């Protein structure tokens, strides 16, 4: 029954969602762990992403999906850099993104990332101008196969992948990502009917 539910679902399912659809007393977690083990050597694997469960093509067979990957729209370097900054520094404002990147970030770049549903507008920073804060979404975790944003690579992993110079200063730190959905003490909720174009920080800087 668990296998059938996961196979038929177009989206990953949480432990709670599966429990509601199964007979009372079912040890769903044990069944998921059994299925995960059974599927481990097969062409499809049962994986946990964003705290939910789904079937995915085995990593070593990703080359079979090469055609599909090529058809996807590629993000610009500016969009990739912005996405990375949001993922590691969230909640973060546009001005903070620009400070980290060292160059201005166009509204179009943020629009593209919002369209992917990988980022969202969280709230407003309690600073002059009340700029919008951005963070990642559950879809970001699902797309990149992450159980949690804390699974993003750290300093040594980034060096090993060649994404950071091995000679970076000793004082250089990669922040610990945190995508807690709750607003922090420096954020206010977005107003009802808020529109992206109403971002006072961006309007003031235009």
Burial of 140 (0-12, 13-18, 19+ CB in 10 A): buried
In this prediction, residue 197 carries a pLDDT of: 44
160 and 121 in a common domain: yes
CATH number at residue 108: 1.10.10.10
| Alpha-carbon dihedral sign for residues 95, 99, 104, 109 | negative
Q: Is 122 in contact with 185 (CB distance < 8 Å)?
A: no
Q: In what order do the strands lie in the sheet with 132-136?
A: 92-93, 132-136, 119-125, 187-188
**Per-residue tokens: 51:** 């705290």
**Residue 126 belongs to some domain of the structure:** yes
144 and 97 in a common domain: yes
Peptide bond into 84 cis (omega under 30): no
* Residue of 193, 188, 197 whose CA lies nearest to 122: 188
DSSP 76: P
196 and 164 in a common domain: yes
Q: Which of 59, 88, 108 is the last residue of a domain?
A: 59
Taking the C-alpha atoms of residue 124 and residue 154, their distance in angstroms, rounded to an integer, is 28
**Residue 70 belongs to some domain of the structure:** no
Q: 112: domain range?
A: 77-205
Count of structural domains, the chain = 2
Q: Is 140 in contact with 118 (CB distance < 8 Å)?
A: yes
In this prediction, residue 152 carries a pLDDT of: 87
In this prediction, residue 101 carries a pLDDT of: 86
Taking the C-alpha atoms of residue 83 and residue 70, their distance in angstroms, rounded to an integer, is 20
**Residue 66 belongs to some domain of the structure:** no
Q: What is the DSSP string of 151-198?
A: GS--HHHHHHTTSS-TT--TT---------SS--TTEEPPPTT--GGG
Q: Is 123 in contact with 129 (CB distance < 8 Å)?
A: no
In this prediction, residue 32 carries a pLDDT of: 95
88 and 48 in a common domain: no
Mean pLDDT in runs of 10 for the chain (206 residues)? Answer: 93 93 93 95 92 90 66 77 90 91 86 93 92 93 87 75 60 75 87 53 42
83 and 159 in a common domain: yes
Helix crossing, 77-89 with 94-101: angle to 10°?
110
142 and 92 in a common domain: yes
Taking the C-alpha atoms of residue 176 and residue 169, their distance in angstroms, rounded to an integer, is 18
Return the bridge partners of 190, or none: none
In this prediction, residue 40 carries a pLDDT of: 93
**Residue 71 belongs to some domain of the structure:** no
């Amino acid at each position: 029954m668990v296998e059938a539910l996961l196979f038929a679902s177009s989206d990953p399912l949480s432990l709670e969602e599966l429990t509601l659809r199964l007979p009372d007393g079912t040890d769903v977690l044990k069944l998921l762990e059994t299925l995960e083990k059974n599927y481990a050597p097969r062409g499809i694997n049962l994986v946990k992403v964003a705290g939910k469960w789904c079937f995915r093509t085995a990593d070593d067979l990703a080359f079979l999906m090469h055609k599909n990957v090529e058809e996807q729209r590629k993000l610009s370097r500016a969009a990739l850099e912005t996405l990375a900054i949001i993922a590691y520094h969230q909640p973060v404002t546009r001005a903070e993104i620009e400070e980290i990147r060292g160059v201005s970030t166009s509204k179009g770049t943020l629009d593209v990332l919002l369209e992917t549903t990988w980022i969202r507008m969280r709230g407003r920073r309690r600073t002059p101008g009340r700029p919008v804060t951005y963070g990642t979404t559950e879809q970001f975790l699902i797309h990149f196969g992450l159980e949690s944003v804390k699974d993003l690579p750290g300093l040594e992993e980034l060096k090993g992948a060649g994404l950071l110079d091995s000679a970076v200063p000793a004082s250089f730190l990669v922040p610990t990502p945190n995508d807690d959905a709750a607003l922090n003490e420096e954020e206010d909720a977005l107003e009802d009917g808020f529109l992206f174009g109403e971002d006072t920080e961006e309007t003031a800087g235009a």
